[in-house]
Structure 1
């Protein structure tokens, strides 16, 4: 059962393989550039490798950012749909009063507690962590990025 304590997800290949390897390669390349600058030999080659290492390091981070931005849009649409199904009215008025982080946290609330929690989040200006901790009927989502 998913809850506040275990809802954080890691994608092992991204978090524990690709990103750390590209970081190691970037550091190794920086060390080689410093050595080349000290000796005066092969500086151009090492700078070329440094540019490649920077690009390789940024690619998985950029891919992650794209995925998260897309997920945020989907969550916003999901919340609009859920709110409409529960109330028969548009979520946009409430949505304007909430930060995206609050909307993302609210999506874990079950249908019975969602509406009161939305109002409470707006009224009290709850942070996403507070929202998640106050959810009693956790709605699981194991397909997040």
Structure 2
């Protein structure tokens, strides 16, 4: 399938469609049982709290490490691409852009990159608007 704005998000099925729903279901069961099983109310409450903590940590740690690394790579790709297209360092230009703008620009081909980069600086358009403006979408199939 050709990547474009409508399908550019990536999911990791064991995490997003098995582990997280299972933890959510366990939390729901725990909370429900907390109110239904009064003799074991404290145990079910503790079970629910532990499930929530595991769910939260799994969600946040996976995202934190993966996205932190990915964000560094996206910035490095921007600097390299800018240098390849303009023959000069990107420091001054990069300082005028938000990370969302930089990340969105990576989906544009070289000609659109130049135009959208200029618009991003002059009109301060956001990352989503940049993505929606791209007509020749360049897929990024290797991201986390």
Aligned to 2:13: 12
How large is the RMSD of aligned CA atoms in angstroms?
A: 1.7
Question: What is the Cα deviation at residue 126 of structure 1?
Answer: 1.0
| Mapped pair 1:57 → 2:58 | no
Counterpart contact for 2:4–2:137, Cα < 8 Å: yes
- Structure 2: 5+ residue stretches without partners: none
Report if the CA contact (8 A) 1:108-1:140 is conserved. Answer: yes
Aligned-residue offset at 1:98? 1.2
Residue of structure 1 equivalent to 2:41: 43
- Asked whether the 8 Å contact 1:105–1:128 carries over to 2, the reply is yes
Instruction: Tell me what 1:26 maps to.
Output: 27
Query: Take 1:99 and 1:105, find their aligned partners in 2: how far apart are those partners?
Result: 10
Partner of 1:67: 66
What is the number of equivalent residue pairs in this alignment? 142
Aligned partners of 1:30, 1:66: CA distance in 2, in Å? 30
User: Structure 1 length normalisation: TM-score?
Assistant: 0.86
